[in-house]
Amino acid sequence: MTSIAEIAARVEALRAELRYHNERYYSLDEPEIPDADYDELFRELKALEEAHPELRDAASPTAHVSGMPTTSFGSVRHAKPMQSLDNALDDEELVAWVGRCEKGLPDESLTYAYEPKVDGLAMSLTYVNGVLTQGATRGDGTTGEDVTANILTIASIPQMLDPRAGVPPQVVEIRGEVYMASADFEALNSRQAAAGEKTFVNPRNAAAGSLRQKDPRITATRPLKFLAYQLGSSEGVEPESSWSPATQSGVLRLLSTAGFDVSSEAGVASSVDEVVAACAWFEEHRHTLPYEVDGAVVKIDDLRLHGVLGSTSRAPRWAIAKKFPPEEKQTLLMNIEISVGRTGRVTPFAVLEPVFVGGTTVQMATLHNEDHVATRDVRPGDLVIVRKAGDVIPEVVGPAAGQVNRPGRAAPWTFPTSCPSCSTALVRIPGENVTQCPNWDCVAQTVQRISYFASRVAMDIEGLGEQRVAQLISAEILTDVADLYDLTETQLLGIEGMGPVSASNLLQAIEASRSQSMHRVLVGLGINEVGPANARVIIRAFPTLKQLAESATEQLAALDGIGPKTAERVVSFMRQDRNLVLIQRLIDHQVGVEEASSALPQTLLGKAVVVTGSVEGFTRQEAEAAVIARGGTSPGSVSKKTFCVVAGESPGASKLTKAETLGLPILPASAFVGLLETGELPG
């Protein structure tokens, strides 16, 4: 039998893994595993937490919506949280959901609204007296990014609500999906490729990238569309008026009249069989729809019943997403090649005869590592099965039927012994399924390292893509990221394709990057597992590169969300002479600015302080921000991990009761300032 300690360890491992994949998906736009695999991990965790309530944790990825507000847009707090949806992976789970709805609403005869699950980005649009005033992304569900300027460039978003829908309420929020139609996506990618610009892996990424442009003039050139599916918060809605529809299907009719695109495939089902059939229809027609869909959404039609069923902290009980399995196709494996990443890791990949799968044309697919190729036994010349799900890098599943005993089949593929870029002998790391090019000066690695530093997740230096970096390296004016800050106009003018304008733009972009916040510099150093979320936590505790270079593994590992492996990686990076020199040069060039919050002493580092009721001199948000600025967290609920509860005027009774039950310290509002200053409990 599995012991509780083993289960607890598995729960922690799953949480860490899900956080890692959340970061890859939401912050880096670089998912590593198919949605279906992610869902599997998520469900395993959820099942374990349900079976072992003592292991539950409000900070678990199952307890909240994933995704973080990133970068430089202003933030918007959603009046009503933007939730996620629970998934049904097969018909059985869909039927079980219908069963739960019926059980929860035994006196109702239920009808269900079904819609496509368009694969784009959730968007909240606010109309004040019928005029569009704000567009915000979902972000973490509570707070999103203000993308109003970009939203105003999308033609299918009405700037005024059509009065034929009735007199608009004072304030109404419309929610839906910003997406790129499949045909528009293909055309955009051809245009980008012809102009030597970055192409996108799929329509969702293209939509996300276009919406996050800092210059709305660029967004305006991107073929974005909006499909409306929900009413969000509102003020001044007259009951029984046209703006107060009773059903989800009524919402779609209203939104259509008000000037929005709504799905023309949406409909209503009145039995479980009809629900299953509707979802099957979407799956069958997924590639003839004008947009990418990754599933179908089914909602209880009667809006009144939504309130009765309610929500979990993450998703409503009145809706479900029926996900489609990842699509698989057959094609010819022309060759197996290897590529070298920024850490020197060497990855085999398949060169394929182009095949249309999962909404895009695939010509290359990852083969992950040496063992993957061996265990799948795929060989050049084989017909192989290629799988692609949503956002994910396409993958070779294995040889198609009949390949294994095919006469004339090639010999098993063997991993090359030397680096394709610098010819250094490759090294297989003992005990790990990783092959490495050990030569730090390898040009392929250097190109990857520097272009990662310049990329959007890190220093965001426009005009410094992989090709440009490779050119500067071969011109011998660039060997590491610190060299960027020594580049001169004369040097750049010697580069093919660079005129005075592009040279001066590039120098300006590099100069501007010196005032990026310090956590981005840390991300840019490219240490494994140090993405934006981890980097923020680390920089909050060690605000400068100098302090970070002097940090110890135990100090880093004590930070919220930083595991011992990550801490070790950071420290071993910081201890290498070469990196110390690099860091000193970055310091000399004054690269990176300290983050505002880090100016304050970190008195509450790693401590969770719950504030309930009003504290004199602070709004609720300010009180929470004051805790966070001192390194703490300010969760909305009390748990055994809470450091203390600050009870202001009219505190929440349930929070106090919970704190008392758990024996937690409860501080009066008058002790709040002292707590911020000292981080200690009074008396």
Least distance in angstroms from the C-beta of 90 to ligand IVH: 17
Applying CB under 6 A, which part among 116-124, 336-344, 519-527, 529-537 lies near ligand IVH?
Answer: 116-124
Least distance in angstroms from the C-beta of 121 to ligand IVH: 7
Applying CB under 6 A, which part among 17-25, 117-125, 378-386, 636-644 lies near ligand IVH?
Answer: 117-125
Choosing from 103, 117, 225, 322, the catalytic residue is 117
CB 184 within 8 A of CB 123: no
Active-site residue 117, yes or no? Answer: yes
CB-based closest residue to ligand IVH: 122
Please give the size of the binding site for ligand IVH, defined by CB under 6 A: 15
Nearer to ligand IVH, 316 or 635 (CB): 316
Contact status: 115 vs ligand IVH (CB under 6 A): yes
Site for ligand IVH in 552-611 (CB under 6 A): none
What's the CA gap between 150 and 477, in Å, rounded? Answer: 37
Nearer to ligand IVH, 93 or 466 (CB): 93
Contact status: 66 vs ligand IVH (CB under 6 A): no
Nearer to ligand IVH, 248 or 451 (CB): 248
CB 538 within 8 A of CB 561: no
Contact status: 49 vs ligand IVH (CB under 6 A): no
Classify each residue of 75-111 as buried b or exposed e, where b means 16 or more C-beta atoms within 10 Å of its C-beta. ebebeebbbbbbbbbeeeebeebbeebeebbeeeebb
* Candidate list 101, 118, 279, 320; residue touching ligand IVH; CB under 6 A: 118
- 3-state secondary structure at position 125: strand
Nearer to ligand IVH, 141 or 169 (CB): 141
Which pairing describes strands 121-128 and 131-137: parallel, antiparallel, or unpaired? antiparallel
Least distance in angstroms from the C-beta of 128 to ligand IVH: 23
Classify each residue of 507-529 as buried b or exposed e, where b means 16 or more C-beta atoms within 10 Å of its C-beta. bebbeebbebbbbbbbbbbbbee
What's the CA gap between 549 and 552, in Å, rounded? Answer: 9
Binding mask 137-176 for ligand IVH (x = CB under 6 A): -x--------------------------------------
What secondary structure letter does DSSP report for 560? Answer: T
* Candidate list 85, 228, 457, 469; residue touching ligand IVH; CB under 6 A: 85
* Candidate list 83, 189, 247, 598; residue touching ligand IVH; CB under 6 A: 83
Helix (H) or strand (E) holding 348: strand 345-357
Contact status: 122 vs ligand IVH (CB under 6 A): yes
Least distance in angstroms from the C-beta of 86 to ligand IVH: 9
What secondary structure letter does DSSP report for 23? Answer: I
Least distance in angstroms from the C-beta of 111 to ligand IVH: 16
Applying CB under 6 A, which part among 77-85, 207-215, 631-639, 651-659 lies near ligand IVH?
Answer: 77-85
**Virtual torsion, Cα 653, 655, 656, 662, nearest 10 deg:** 140
Nearer to ligand IVH, 175 or 519 (CB): 175
Cα torsion angle, 26, 28, 30, 33, sign:
negative
DSSP letter string, 226-269: EEEEEEEEEESPPTTSTTS-SBHHHHHHHHHHTT----TT-EEE
Applying CB under 6 A, which part among 78-86, 237-245, 249-257, 616-624 lies near ligand IVH?
Answer: 78-86
Nearer to ligand IVH, 101 or 319 (CB): 319
Contact status: 297 vs ligand IVH (CB under 6 A): yes
Six-digit token string for 565: 């492996």
Contact status: 84 vs ligand IVH (CB under 6 A): yes
CB 221 within 8 A of CB 184: no
Least distance in angstroms from the C-beta of 608 to ligand IVH: 27
The packing angle between helices 4-22 and 35-51, to 10°, is 150
Least distance in angstroms from the C-beta of 84 to ligand IVH: 5
* Candidate list 38, 42, 200, 229; residue touching ligand IVH; CB under 6 A: 229
In DSSP terms, 355 is beta-bridged to 362
* Candidate list 15, 19, 24, 117; residue touching ligand IVH; CB under 6 A: 117
Contact status: 202 vs ligand IVH (CB under 6 A): no
Nearer to ligand IVH, 122 or 627 (CB): 122
Six-digit token string for 64: 């909240």
Applying CB under 6 A, which part among 313-321, 358-366, 493-501, 564-572 lies near ligand IVH?
Answer: 313-321
Contact status: 319 vs ligand IVH (CB under 6 A): yes
Least distance in angstroms from the C-beta of 227 to ligand IVH: 7
Helix (H) or strand (E) holding 500: helix 500-513
CB 262 within 8 A of CB 165: no
- Cα dist from 612 to 77, 79, 637, 647, whole Å: 19, 19, 9, 5
Long-range pairs, 552-558, Cβ under 8 A, ≥24: 558/606
Applying CB under 6 A, which part among 28-36, 83-91, 490-498, 596-604 lies near ligand IVH?
Answer: 83-91
CB 659 within 8 A of CB 645: yes
Nearer to ligand IVH, 117 or 388 (CB): 117
CB 361 within 8 A of CB 355: yes
Least distance in angstroms from the C-beta of 388 to ligand IVH: 19
What's the CA gap between 150 and 614, in Å, rounded? Answer: 36
Contact status: 101 vs ligand IVH (CB under 6 A): no
In DSSP terms, 227 is beta-bridged to 177
Helix (H) or strand (E) holding 76: strand 75-77
Contact status: 379 vs ligand IVH (CB under 6 A): no
Helix (H) or strand (E) holding 574: helix 564-575
Applying CB under 6 A, which part among 81-89, 102-110, 602-610, 654-662 lies near ligand IVH?
Answer: 81-89
Nearer to ligand IVH, 116 or 651 (CB): 116
Which pairing describes strands 293-300 and 319-323: parallel, antiparallel, or unpaired? antiparallel
Nearer to ligand IVH, 204 or 607 (CB): 204
Nearer to ligand IVH, 177 or 395 (CB): 177
Helix (H) or strand (E) holding 435: strand 435-436
Q: Is 364 exposed, middle or buried (0-12, 13-18, 19+ CB in 10 A)?
A: middle
Tell which residue, 203, 255, 247, has the closest CA to residue 229. 255
Tell which residue, 327, 325, 281, 278, has the closest CA to residue 298. 278
Six-digit token string for 268: 């209503």
Contact status: 177 vs ligand IVH (CB under 6 A): yes
Applying CB under 6 A, which part among 82-90, 412-420, 435-443, 603-611 lies near ligand IVH?
Answer: 82-90
Site for ligand IVH in 321-350 (CB under 6 A): 321
Task: Give the interface with ligand IVH as residue ranges (CB under 6 A).
Answer: 83-85, 115, 117-118, 122, 138, 177, 229-230, 297, 316, 319, 321
| Active site amino acids | 117
